[in-house]
Amino acid sequence: MKKYFKIIFVILIIFIITPKNIYADDENEIYENVIEDEEKIEIEAAATTGTKPTINSRKYCVYDRLSGKCIYGKDENKETAMASTTKIMTAIIIVENCNLNEIVTVTSKAANTGGSRLGLHIDDKISVNDLLYGLMLRSGNDAAVALAIHLSKSIENFAILMNNKAEELGLKNTHFVTPHGLDNNEHYTTALELAKITDYALKNDIIAKIVNTKSTTISINGDRMNINNTNELLGNVEGVYGVKTGFTNNAGRCLVTSVKRGDMDLIVVVLGADTRKDRAKDTIKLIEYITKNFFVVNLEESVNKEFEQWKLINQNRIYINKASNNLELKLGEMKIKGIVTNQEPIIEINALTYLEAPILENEKIGTLTVKINDEIIEEIEILTSEKVEKRNILDYLYIISKIYAGKIKII
């Protein structure tokens, strides 16, 4: 009997010291008041004084959707695990490649996926649309695998689609292995690139609607099931309209939040927080600090005004040798029309002062540069708006006739 007790004791010790499976977003509880009202007031008051927030999260990024820039961050370009925020990309792939009314039959691989679950079983019948809600609200790893296998027959094939989309979006430091985000050394992104993925996702009305849903009812095998959103800020913080929570032991607590206040439309990414409360507080701190200390600049208006003033003084000072007509200038394409910033932009214009005719239409003769905090935000080409011809014999005869008529004086 003592021998059996020893065996049981050894098994228990092994079970205790052996690392448990690391699950993505292993939290289905809903906490309505992660941050108490008193704490929110303190955070808002600190932001009003212009005090920079103290952030617990190891990496973060405040992304301005207007300019496509990270306007405030820490280690936002450093590769890191991102847990269930992975599912933002999963949703993109599914919405762009599937009919939402299609019925999915749940495989054993999907049904046996651990961690945060929607609660699927083998051979369950559920629509793609309802799986998407289970994916983004309940953070179901089983829903992620069911969707991946439905579309691509395997997780590996689905990961190829995810990585192709990342490449299409110009992401250099992102790589996907799974549709759910369970820890894997080859599965990573950055706070900035996760913000870019989110920005792209929110341009899709279907995804935008799903992540802004606090609770809904789905159907599995014809049976109705109520599910709630794991996003603790949705419905509790002014202007928040998404997006996704996440957690693994390696990634820590993660939260991607979209928030709109006035003319500001921001995506706040916090990765590697120690607790659920920390990630919520960090996000609120960043939202309050930016919205109270930054402002929206209409770059297009500022640039056009500066350029027109510059042209009045400088356009006629540009000498074109042997030109038969006057030079007219315009600005090329402007990519960033506006930006959220805490500094007024500095606009610098540099152009050639001597040219040789002929000059083609749309020929570059200078650059307008926009800087904020010594960072180049935009470089716009200064172009010729029409062709400048080279003088021919008739032009010279015309000039000579003007001289003889006394209309042109030679000094």
First to last CA, the chain: 122
Specify whether 356 is located in the same domain as 248.
Answer: no
> Is-contact 117 140, C-beta < 8 A?
yes
Is pTM beyond 0.85? Reply is yes
Task: Give the residue ranges of the chain where pLDDT is below 70.
Answer: 1-33, 391-411
Domain boundary among 293, 311, 331: 293
The torsion angle over the Cα atoms of residues 293, 67, 177 and 58, rounded to 10 degrees, is -20
- How many domains does the structure of the chain reveal? 2
pLDDT digits (tens, 9 = 90+) for 147-157: 999 999 999 99
Structure tokens given for 229: 């959103």
Nearest to 42, CA basis, from 32, 53, 57, 55: 53
Look at residue 216 and tell me if it is in a domain: yes
What confidence tens digit (pLDDT) does each residue in 288-311 have?
999 999 999 999 999 999 999 999
Structure tokens at 73: 């961050």
- Residue 140 sits in the same domain as residue 250: yes
Q: What is the pLDDT of residue 345?
A: 96
Query: Which of 232, 266, 293 is the last residue in one of the domains?
Result: 293
Residues 205 and 316 in one domain: no
Distance between CA 191 and CA 84 in Å, rounded? 14
pLDDT at position 39: 74
> Catalytic site residues?
84, 87, 139
For residue 136, the model assigns a pLDDT of 98
C-alpha atoms less than 13 angstroms from C-alpha of 406 in its C-beta half-sphere: 0
Q: What is the CATH number of the domain that holds 83?
A: 3.40.710.10
Domain carrying residue 344: 299-404
Nearby residues of 87 by Cβ (< 8 Å), 6 or more positions away? 135, 136, 139, 144, 179, 180, 181, 244
Rg from Cα positions in the chain: 29
CATH code, domain with 365: 2.60.410.10
| pLDDT reported for residue 400 | 58
Strand order in the sheet with 375-384: 329-331, 375-384, 364-372, 346-351
Within the chain, what is the greatest distance between any pair of CA atoms?
Answer: 128
Does residue 258 sit in the same domain as residue 336?
A: no
252 and 342 fall within a common domain: no
pLDDT at 10: 47
- What pLDDT does 389 receive? 85
